[in-house]
Amino acid sequence: MATNGNGYSRNSNGALSSNGTTTVLKYEKSSCLFCNEWFDSQTFTEHLIHCGQVLEQCPNSCNAFVPRIRMRTHLKECPRAKAQPQQSNSLERLDQFMDNRINQLEKDLSALRSVLNEEIGQRLHLITDVGNLRKYNQVLEDWKHEADESVRGVKALLNEEIVQRQFEVGEAYKDNVANFEMIKKVKADIQGEMDVLQKNIQQLSLEVAEHVNHLNDNTMKLEEMILENEKKNLDKFIEIEEFLNVLDGDLKTKFVANSDLNAKQANMDLEVKSMKNIVCETEERCEKLEGIVNEIDTKLHQTMQTLADLENHLATQQRLTSIQNTRGHLIWRIKDFSKKLEEAKQYETILHSAMFSNKPYGYALRVS
């Protein structure tokens, strides 16, 4: 803050902050009360000494205050100057010289003022530009600081993400290793069970084949016995019927003559009825045996189909261990479909497809 001798002052301050510090810019200008020109504090006092607009009291004690640049003209016109005629000539020469000198000084001062005003304007522009540059620099510093903070935050988040991903990858690798070991173990268990199952199926196949052969032998023997018994009973029935017919004819001729023959006839009738009952019982037994044979044939077919299903299941298990059909898709090819369909309808059995799965470790499925 600067104050001139006339009580008029001008103060311009600028404050800028950079990197946490405060820089204060001060530029002070003072204007002359007489000529209204602006000067800094260093040249203001010297300007007051030479300023032509400063009011000075008349040396002739006429109580007039005249600007310094017009003092010579006033002295010519001053009423007190007429009392001194002897000094007028010298004063006129002095005034002429002083006027010329003052005019030259005014020209020089005008040039200096213009140059000084231009310099002051340039300095003001420079100060304004420096202030703006400092502001821009502060903005850039703030932006750089914020960018550095953002970069550091992004790097921290990236490092955390990398650590998290590495941890997840490690855990996934451990899980995959554990799953692989479990799959190997399950595969070994399944392979062992398949071996045991294959042995059991082979043993069962041998037993079933032996049982089937035994059943076939028994069935053939039973059919032969049934046919032989039917043939014997039929022959006996025919012989008895012929004998009874012959006997009936003889009895009719001798019925009147011999009453004993009537008793024998009655006995023979009883025997014939008993023979007929035996024949009926034999027929019923034959029918029962035929039903048993049909039931045995049905069970035999079911056993053969179960054996075929087991063989298909074993083959499917072998394919599953090599192919792993876990997508829920199945292509079911049935060889001799029409024949197997007729046998299924005849023996009232169900056709089954191979086993498959809808997904890994999912449900075991098959089509019926």
Domain residue ranges of the chain, discontinuous segments joined by +: 1-48, 324-368
**Per-residue model confidence as pLDDT tens digits over 258-282:** 566 566 667 777 777 777 777 777 7
**Per-residue model confidence as pLDDT tens digits over 137-191:** 899 999 998 999 989 899 999 898 898 888 888 888 888 888 888 888 888 888 8
Sign, CA torsion 122/125/130/136: negative
Q: Where are the alpha helices (DSSP H) in the chain?
A: 41-50, 71-77, 88-254, 259-323, 337-347
Place of tokens 């040396």: 59
Q: What is the pLDDT of residue 346?
A: 76
**Per-residue model confidence as pLDDT tens digits over 307-363:** 777 777 676 666 655 444 455 555 556 667 777 777 777 777 776 666 666 665 556
Read off the pTM.
0.29
Provide the terminal-to-terminal Cα distance of the chain, rounded to the nearest Å: 108
Taking alpha carbons only, the member of 249, 239, 242, 237 closest to residue 273 is 237
Task: Check if the beta carbon of residue 331 is closer than 8 Å to that of residue 316.
Answer: no
Nearby residues of 355 by Cβ (< 8 Å), 6 or more positions away: 313, 316, 317, 320, 364, 365, 366
pLDDT score of 19 more than 70: no
